[in-house]
Amino acid sequence: MRKKVTVVGAGNVGASCALRIANKELADVVLVDIMEGVPQGKALDLLESGPIEGYDVSVTGANDYTTTENSDVVVITAGFPRKPGMTRDDLLMANFEIVKAATEGVVKYSPNAIIVVVTNPLDAMCYTAHVVSKFPKNRVIGMAGVLDTARYRTFIAEELNVSMENVTAMVLGGHGDTMVPLVRLTSVSGIPITELIPQDRIDAIVKRTREGGAEIVKYLKTGSAFYAPSAATVEMVESILKDKKKVLPCAALLEGEYGINGLFVGVPCKLGASGIEKIYELQLSEAETAELNRSAAAVQELVDVLKSKGA
């Protein structure tokens, strides 16, 4: 029997996730959205691509959660996108209600699923999904670090005119302006980038990485990124479904790791069939620790707002 993945939200990110999952033949896909006809139409369009692309998975669309029953993985992309000048934090309460409702639907029909949260503000939405679902912490994971690291690697490869595949990097922290690209551990085929790129250019690349989402929003004006976010999400989904045990930067609930308690923060995680199978605790420098704590404090502010509203 094939695996089953539900993608909640049939917008650009959700539809792109469904397409990539189908193309890789990872699982049957159910696309869920409150907009009548939209998930059904996009699912049928994707299904009809199968004979051309050569995939045989089922893709269906729905406006409720009954057809999502017994999903192995549920990807939550539903929510309002950012607009120019809008921060991820502006989205907090509006998207809280959406993620809460989505999580309730997921839990009712797929109590054993692993939830991958993509909706912004990411770290606070992971907290929401965890509290609402009451799932163990290994089964609620946030997609942020894979995307942020991909952007960071892209900019380094462009700077040096080398293959992106040769750039090894890791971005920790919250998904926002306080994320922490670990320059010290960034290399090109094992060569530290500090030996290849002047410090002022490294600083510019770090800044561009932190503002990566906003840069795309500025260009698009009426939407936000979706190709790279969907690619990052599906890398995580694939590692879970195939039990690949990839070590990827993901938003995970920390309970003492890195001195942080009760918050979802981006850290290196081993992803396998049971979700997060291990959190790796790196030995950070004082400066890196200070940056990570600053990032965690920004996440805490959002969580505190949710708690103050009774969330």
What would the pLDDT profile of 87-129 be if each residue is shown by its tens digit?
A: 656 779 889 999 999 999 999 999 999 999 999 999 999 999 9
- Distance from the first to the final alpha carbon of the chain: 38
Position 234 in a domain? no
Is the pLDDT reported for residue 84 higher than 90? no
Position 212 in a domain? no
**189-212 CB burial, b ≥16 within 10 A, e <16:** eeeebeebbeeeebeebbeebbbb
At 71, which CATH number? 3.40.50.720
What pLDDT does residue 227 have?
A: 98
Cα radius of gyration rounded to whole Å, the chain: 19
Alpha carbon dihedral 56, 62, 66, 70, in 10-degree steps, equals 30
Is the pLDDT reported for residue 250 higher than 80? yes
Is the pLDDT reported for residue 86 higher than 80? no
Q: Amino acid letter at 110?
A: S
> Active-site residue among 82, 88, 175, 210?
175
Position 114 in a domain? yes
What pLDDT does residue 81 have?
A: 74
- Answer whether 39's CB lies under 8 Å from 33's CB: yes
Domain total of the chain:
1
**In the chain, pLDDT over 70 holds for what percent of residues?**
97
Quickly count helices (H) and strands (E) in the chain.
Answer: 10, 14
DSSP per residue, 212-225 = HHHHHHHHHSS---
> pLDDT band at residue 18, thresholds of 50, 70 and 90?
very high
**What is the rounded distance in angstroms from the CA atom of residue 35 to the CA atom of residue 295?**
35
Range name among 65-69, 71-75, 118-122, 204-208 with the lowest pLDDT average: 118-122
Position 237 in a domain? no
- Answer whether 302's CB lies under 8 Å from 87's CB: no
Is the pLDDT reported for residue 220 higher than 90? yes
> pLDDT band at residue 1, thresholds of 50, 70 and 90?
confident
Is the pLDDT reported for residue 310 higher than 80? no
pLDDT average, residue stretch 49-63? 98
**What is the rounded distance in angstroms from the CA atom of residue 96 to the CA atom of residue 126?**
10
What pLDDT does residue 83 have?
A: 66
Structure confidence by residue, pLDDT tens digits, 154-190: 999 999 999 999 999 999 999 888 999 999 999 999 9
Three-state DSSP at 296 gives helix
Position 247 in a domain? no
Position 123 in a domain? yes
**What is the rounded distance in angstroms from the CA atom of residue 185 to the CA atom of residue 85?**
32
Position 263 in a domain? no
Position 188 in a domain? no
What pLDDT does residue 46 have?
A: 98
- Answer whether 225's CB lies under 8 Å from 144's CB: no
What pLDDT does residue 277 have?
A: 98
Three-state DSSP at 66 gives helix
Domain range enclosing 70: 4-142
**Catalytic residue list contains 130:** no
What pLDDT does residue 50 have?
A: 98
- The model carries a pTM of 0.96
